[in-house]
């Protein structure tokens, strides 16, 4: 899976994948990752908005 962002939380990492279908972006997956996973900065506006959600 290609992750649009990976953020760090206290006990794990959370990854967000996004897709664009006919000009409409949407979150296609959210997954918990192990703490040793690498952090990845958001690669598009929707991924940025998704990782800012509480």
Chain centroid offset of residue 53 CA: 11
Pair of tokens at residue 20: 């664009």
Number of domains in the chain: 1
The predicted pLDDT at position 48 comes to 92
The predicted pLDDT at position 4 comes to 95
The predicted pLDDT at position 54 comes to 59
Backbone angles phi, psi at 42, to 5 degrees: -60, 135
The predicted pLDDT at position 52 comes to 87
Buried/exposed 36-46: b ≥16 CB within 10 Å, e otherwise = ebeebebeeeb
Per-residue pLDDT of the chain (54 residues; tens, 9 = 90+): 899 999 998 889 999 999 999 989 999 999 999 999 999 999 999 999 988 875
3-state secondary structure of 40: strand
């Amino acid at each position: 899976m290609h992750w649009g962002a990976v953020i760090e939380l206290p006990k794990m990492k959370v990854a967000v994948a996004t897709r664009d279908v006919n000009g409409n972006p949407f979150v296609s997956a959210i997954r918990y990752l192990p703490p040793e996973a690498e952090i990845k900065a958001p690669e598009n506006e929707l991924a940025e908005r998704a990782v800012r959600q509480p």
